């Protein structure tokens, strides 16, 4: 499946709060659709699928991209679930979002694609670029780039910047000081269920 471009609130009503997908919230609590209000006990497969979908929609990944991230995480020594979250959190588009330079991950992706973002003074247009400790994220010198990011910084989506990131609002400079820790991941999910989902495939 390709990246989702449909109504975002519909997804949030089904999966819960997804801070990376949208900053809006729906007044309706039940899942969207004709049978949304029906309550039934989900199967074990449905629980694992739902956790996987949360991850996929929040970070804006296609099915293939997420499956590749899981494969990469399995090759690294340590907890596969934690490493998977770290891979996704250290993506350039998500790092820009967590710094408050964009309201959502799709908006951060647009900043990257349109050449507004520099990493270590090099123009990076690849959203999946893996940020490393020591990377310095700056904004293109164009006035349009600076005004766009400044406007976003005035209305951040998340209250706190994670402890592995550092932001200078005046100079519009972000720094990556380390790898994100589990407690700073903004999305509420059980990553072990996602690993189990892919281990059964």
Domains defined along the chain, listed by start: 8-87+185-199 (1.10.1050.10), 91-178 (3.10.290.10)
Q: By three-state DSSP, how is residue 104 classified?
A: coil
* Listed residue (25, 174, 10) closest to 108, CA to CA: 174
- Of 120 and 34, which is predicted with more confidence? 120
Which pLDDT score is estimated for 75?
Answer: 92
Which pLDDT score is estimated for 176?
Answer: 95
To which residue do tokens 């967590």 refer?
A: 98
Which pLDDT score is estimated for 38?
Answer: 58
pLDDT tens figures, 140-197: 888 888 898 888 888 776 768 889 999 998 899 999 999 999 888 888 888 999 999 9
Cβ count near 199 (within 10 Å): 11
* Listed residue (139, 129, 61) closest to 99, CA to CA: 139
Which pLDDT score is estimated for 58?
Answer: 86
Which pLDDT score is estimated for 113?
Answer: 92
* Residue 118 parent element (H or E): strand 117-119
Cβ count near 123 (within 10 Å): 11
Interatomic CA distance for residues 115 and 141, integer angstroms: 11
Which pLDDT score is estimated for 1?
Answer: 40
Interatomic CA distance for residues 20 and 57, integer angstroms: 8
Cβ count near 196 (within 10 Å): 17
pLDDT tens figures, 35-70: 545 566 778 888 898 889 888 888 888 899 999 999
Interatomic CA distance for residues 98 and 105, integer angstroms: 9
Q: What pTM did the predictor assign?
A: 0.84
């Amino acid at each position: 499946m390709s990246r989702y471009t449909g109504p975002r609130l519909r997804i949030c009503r089904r999966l819960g709060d997804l801070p990376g997908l949208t900053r809006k919230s729906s007044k309706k609590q039940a899942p969207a659709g004709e049978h949304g209000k029906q309550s039934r006990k989900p199967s074990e497969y449905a629980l694992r699928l739902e956790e996987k979908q949360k991850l996929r929609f929040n970070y804006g990944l296609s099915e293939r991209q997420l499956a590749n991230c899981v494969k990469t995480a399995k090759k690294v020594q340590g907890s596969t679930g934690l490493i998977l979250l770290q891979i996704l959190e250290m993506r350039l588009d998500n790092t820009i979002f967590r710094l408050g330079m964009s309201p959502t991950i799709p908006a951060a992706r647009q900043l990257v694609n349109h050449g507004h973002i520099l990493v270590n003074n090099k123009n990076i247009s690849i959203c999946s670029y893996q940020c490393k400790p020591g990377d310095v994220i700056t904004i293109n010198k164009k006035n349009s780039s600076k005004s766009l990011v400044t406007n976003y910084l005035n209305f951040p989506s998340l209250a706190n910047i994670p402890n592995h990131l550092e932001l200078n609002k005046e100079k519009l400079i972000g720094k990556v000081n380390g790898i994100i820790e589990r407690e700073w991941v903004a999305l509420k999910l059980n990553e072990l269920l996602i690993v189990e989902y892919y281990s059964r495939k």
